[in-house]
Amino acid sequence: MKSLQHSLGFLTNNNNYNEMTEIQRQKLELLNNDETILAYLTIKTNYKYWSTDRVDSEININLKNN
């Protein structure tokens, strides 16, 4: 189970939650529109469980697709 969580980008080594950086928050707000609302809500809900790299990756992928 740990390897599955690690491959999905979840933090497994501690119980601390991630905090989004100011740049990540600004980029995330660019996704808050009708076309990308699902990606926005997914990232907004799950960022605290994901690694910082995964949050950046998810935001960038969705910004490129928009």
pTM of the model: 0.71
Instruction: Convert the pLDDT of each residue in 29-48 to its tens digit.
Output: 999 999 999 999 999 999 99
Which residues, at least 6 apart from 17, have a Cβ–Cβ distance to it below 8 Å? 48, 49
pLDDT at position 10 is 58
pLDDT at position 63 is 93
Which residues, at least 6 apart from 21, have a Cβ–Cβ distance to it below 8 Å? 52
- The per-residue pLDDT of the chain, averaged, comes to 83
Is the confidence at residue 7, as pLDDT, over 70?
no
Nearest to 24 by CA among 49, 59, 63, 54: 59
Q: Is 62:29 a contact under the CB 8 Å cutoff?
A: no
Domain positions in the chain are 2-65
Sign of CA dihedral 31, 37, 41, 42: negative
